[in-house]
Structure 1
Amino acid sequence: MVRCWRHSEASLEDPHCMHCGPMSSFRIPHKVLWGSLAVTLLIVVIGLGVTAHLGLQRKTQSSLQDVRIPDHTGEFFNQSALIDKHNNVVTYFVTSHVNQTSTVIFDVRQGLVCYKPDNQDSCFLRQMESLDYENVESHLNKSEKQVSQVWLVGNETERHTEFMGVLPSSRLDASTLQEPLQSLCKQASVYWTRRSDGPGKQRLIYFCIDICFPSNICVSVCFYYLPE
């Protein structure tokens, strides 16, 4: 016969412990068991959430990486300009070191600048400013033909960076554009941009295009997406 004893050795057998056995002291109460399972499940859920967040963050950073077009290290880079005096349009073709050519159109008649990176299916628009008109006019005035193409090289006489923010919910239908912008962007998404002070440390630059004008002024135009 197996007896259950109280803490005092002198006490009598407890009638309520008739079913106690040698392994009774190892039984885990149901509340403790379910509590442990709940804590374990909570830890697993938190771990999965953190892993998913880090994966999404890495994916976002890889899709918004800093891409410079062109990423030149020397003083010169490959650039040409197509001058159309009849339509008051100057088109720049800027080729990177990996042979990717971005196109930038200055349309004086419409007062627009259009950027089309070669490695993206997107076009970015902005309004021309007074300095843009001056730089384009320097091309148009020097050209003796109605349509001509000149090759340019960049130098370090004067260089600065301009930041353009891509406006949220500003997508346009390329069919609403006029030529030559429509032909350039017919297979691309079109967005409006605006000049800004910079993306800040928390946002990454989407891409940059370097353009040099005949006035020995080189401009790096860098784009990034503005927050919603």
Structure 2
Amino acid sequence: MLRCWKRSETTGLEDSQCMDGSPALPPRFPHKAFWVTVSATLLLVIIALSFTGHLWLRQPKAQSVQVVRITVPDQTGALINQSALVDKQNDLVTYSVTSKANHTSTVLFDIKHGLICYKPDNRGTCFLRKMERSDYENVHSLLQQSTQMESQLVLLGNETQRQTEFLGVMGASQVNVSTLEEPLQDLCQHSLIHWTRRQDGPGKQRLVYFCIDICFPSNICVSVCFYYLPE
């Protein structure tokens, strides 16, 4: 037998038989309790997502960074002292090259933005150049190396191709550091920044004032030499 409830003015709720034979309606769920439950659930979800994101941001960036030490003899047979810091997550490769005079120059390959930045240690100047196809090929040889945190690459001197690049410095076109992306800003803070362009050579009237030797795992060593273009 179906049962339904009706309110009595004297005795409150009492049980009575449904006269029309229709099924009894279930008691209505309180709206206030429903929205309180939903709000509490959403709050817990937001807290959990915030905590997870905080932990992700606090993860050390070194997990995506690989140090590659490249050893190769120079033209005189002495070993070139250089290392490359490979950040695959941010598409960055940073070379540290130490000269015979114990001056360390930095060369930053910003693959994402297609730029190369040269910063000699003994000069308060940065030099920018747009990456070309050969630059991408050389840097990708580093990105494809082992995923270990640190590895050593030894290049054979008799199998290494050596070439020289001349870059003319356009002194009149200085760059505002605030217009550069973050990795370049960090490297060139408090430095004069100039654009450069590839040239066939400095010519007899122009002297090369410094060079940076860089070796890649693809058995290619490049000597990048700079000189100022006529204003």
TM-score of the superposition, structure 1-length normalised? 0.64
Change (3 A) 1:193 1:202: same
Per the alignment, residue 73 of structure 1 pairs with 76
Shift of 1:74: 2.3
Query: Could you list the per-position Cα deviations for residues 89-120 of structure 1 after superposition, in whole angstroms to 9, with x for gaps in the alignment?
Result: 11000001222100000111010000000010
- For structure 2, the residue ranges without an aligned partner over 5 or more in a row are 1-73
Please tell me whether residue 193 in structure 1 is matched to residue 196 in structure 2: yes
Alignment of 1:1-228 (within 5 A): 73-144=76-147, 148-151=149-152, 155=157, 157-228=160-231
What's the % identity of the aligned pairs? 64
Change (3 A) 1:223 1:124: same
Indicate the larger mover: 150-159 or 120-129. 150-159
State the number of aligned residues: 156
3-state secondary structure, aligned to 1:211: strand
Shift of 1:123: 0.2
Paired residues of 1:93 and 1:101 also in contact (CA < 8 A): yes
Query: Could you list the per-position Cα deviations for residues 40-83 of structure 1 after superposition, in whole angstroms to 9, with x for gaps in the alignment?
Result: xxxxxxxxxxxxxxxxxxxxxxxxxxxxxxx9732421010000
Change (3 A) 1:207 1:150: farther
- Give, in whole Å, the separation in 1 of the partners of 2:128 and 2:175: 10
- Give, in whole Å, the separation in 2 of the partners of 1:151 and 1:222: 27
Return the structure number with greater relative CO, CA threshold 8 A, min gap 6: 1
Change (3 A) 1:224 1:83: same
Paired residues of 1:104 and 1:115 also in contact (CA < 8 A): yes
Change (3 A) 1:113 1:133: same
Change (3 A) 1:150 1:110: farther
TM-score of the superposition, structure 2-length normalised? 0.64
Shift of 1:176: 1.6
Change (3 A) 1:152 1:78: farther
Change (3 A) 1:151 1:118: farther
Paired residues of 1:83 and 1:143 also in contact (CA < 8 A): no
Q: What RMSD, in angstroms, separates the aligned Cα atoms of the two structures? A: 1.8
3-state secondary structure, aligned to 1:110: coil
3-state secondary structure, aligned to 1:184: helix
Name the aligned partner's letter for residue 80 of structure 2. Answer: F
Change (3 A) 1:225 1:89: same
- Give, in whole Å, the separation in 2 of the partners of 1:89 and 1:144: 15
Paired residues of 1:152 and 1:212 also in contact (CA < 8 A): no
Query: Could you list the per-position Cα deviations for residues 6-31 of structure 1 after superposition, in whole angstroms to 9, with x for gaps in the alignment?
Result: xxxxxxxxxxxxxxxxxxxxxxxxxx
- For structure 1, the residue ranges without an aligned partner over 5 or more in a row are 1-70
